[in-house]
Amino acid sequence: MSHPFYNVLFFLYLVICLGLIVAVASQTSKNEGLSGTLGGKVEAAPFLRKKTWEEQLNRVTSFFAWSFLALSTVIVLFFQSR
């Protein structure tokens, strides 16, 4: 019989994985090339304007990616000790 903590971890992992898939699939391609990747865009006072949909989606994607990494580490450590 499995521990209830396994079920909770599995459910959270499933939700985070699905959220990460949806967030990454929702990203748009900018096709900026190397200059856009290395910071070729300069915006004046980015903290004074409202966040765009793409910026909010980037934050959500980042949240899901870091959550995926952290939960994967927890799961590996938890199952390794068993």
Q: Which domain holds residue 23?
A: 16-27+52-82
The pTM (predicted TM-score) of the whole model is: 0.70
Residue 39 resides in a domain? no
Tokens of 41: 């865009």
Q: Report if residue 8 sits inside a domain.
A: no
Number of domains in the chain: 1
Cα–Cα distance for residue pair 76/74, rounded to 1 Å: 6
Any domain includes 58? yes
Q: Is residue 20 part of a domain?
A: yes
Q: Is residue 64 part of a domain?
A: yes
* Confidence bin at 65 (pLDDT 50/70/90): very high
User: Does some domain include residue 77?
Assistant: yes
Question: What's the one-letter identity of residue 11?
Answer: F
Which pLDDT belongs to residue 29?
73
Q: Is the dihedral of CA 6, 9, 12, 18 positive or negative?
A: negative
Is 66 domain-assigned?
Answer: yes
pLDDT in tens, 10-21: 899 999 999 999
Comparing 12 with 2, which gets the higher pLDDT? 12
The CA-to-CA distance between both ends of the chain, in Å, stands at 13
Q: How far apart are CA 43 and CA 51, in angstroms?
A: 13
